[in-house]
Copies of this chain bind each other. A is one copy, B any other.
Amino acid sequence: MKVGVSGASGRMGSLAAKAFSETDDLHLIALYDRYMAGSIAGLSISQDPEALDGCDVILEFSSPTSVMDHLAHWRQFGANVVVGTSGFDAERLAALGELWGNGPGNCLVVPNFSIGGVLMMKMAEMAAKYFKVGEIIEMHHDRKIDAPSGTAIATAARIAKAGGAQQRAVESEEFHGGALGATIDGVSVHSIRMPGLLAHQVVMFGSEGETLSLRHDTMDRNAFLPGILLAVRSVSTQQAPLAVGLESLLGI
């Protein structure tokens, strides 16, 4: 399988390119980055997007501003594409749906490459059906600007959609504003920010006499590699031309 990386000079792109070069089954043939030259595993990073023509799979990790142009370009190559760029809302996904049409060549948009993170969200959805209350505590390093995290917001939405875990027996009175957290889709979310943390989330469920807590800790970016490899190896055989998330690849 011939593989290329777009956004190869970025942190995730370069990490993935290096990982591809160390596998037996993936043949890393081209690197592209609009802005920055360099080389990874002996392969030069080109500033010309045509360098990616001929790839079976292109991993796209460029910025939200350039990603849509890039994807239109890769579509012309007929390549399968895995997209790791963030910020794909319903509108962008609809545009991709039109662009990809009926293949050949598939597109897989992946909001979260961490297999542990994807499992945690699925498990939260499962537990939400059976527990009375669920709350989310997400903890990140103190250079993270936004709160709550995108993962926490997405988890709250899935808990709410699963149809449970939202009723409190007593409406507590907040004597200090914010103590009970943010309420997102009826689910309480708490954000902790301090040095010494990286990226962590706990989803905690309670019913009479028992609690169930799901905790995911990310220590470094290597955590994303198994998910990236799985996506790149599977995109060409996925069922629909356009798919979102690792869930179907994991069979969950």
Enumerate chain A interface residues (CB-CB to B < 8 A). 114-117, 119-120, 122-123, 126-127, 130-135, 137, 139, 142-148, 153, 168-170, 172-184, 188-198, 204-226, 250, 252
**CA A131 to CA B192, docked complex, whole Å:** 15
User: Is B195 a contact partner of A206 (Cβ separation < 8 A)?
Assistant: yes
- Given A130-B250, A135-B192, A196-B223, 5 other A-B residues pairs in contact with their CB atoms under 8 A: A116-B130, A181-B181, A210-B218, A210-B223, A213-B217
**CA A176 to CA B190, docked complex, whole Å:** 10
**CA A145 to CA B174, docked complex, whole Å:** 9
User: Is B219 a contact partner of A198 (Cβ separation < 8 A)?
Assistant: yes
User: Could you say which residues of chain B place their CB within 8 Å of the CB of A181?
Assistant: 178-179, 181, 190-192
User: Is A175 a contact partner of B195 (Cβ separation < 8 A)?
Assistant: no
**CA A127 to CA B214, docked complex, whole Å:** 12
Q: How many protomers of this protein does the assembly include?
A: 4
A-B contacts, 25 of them at CB < 8 A, read A116-B130, A116-B211, A117-B210, A119-B212, A120-B212, A133-B142, A142-B170, A147-B175, A153-B176, A176-B182, A176-B189, A178-B182, A178-B183, A179-B190, A181-B191, A195-B206, A196-B217, A207-B223, A208-B223, A209-B220, A209-B224, A209-B225, A210-B218, A212-B214, A219-B219
**5 residue pairs, one from A and one from B, having the closest CB atoms:** A194-B206, A209-B223, A196-B206, A176-B182, A209-B222
Partner of A146, one of B127, B173, B214, B221: B173
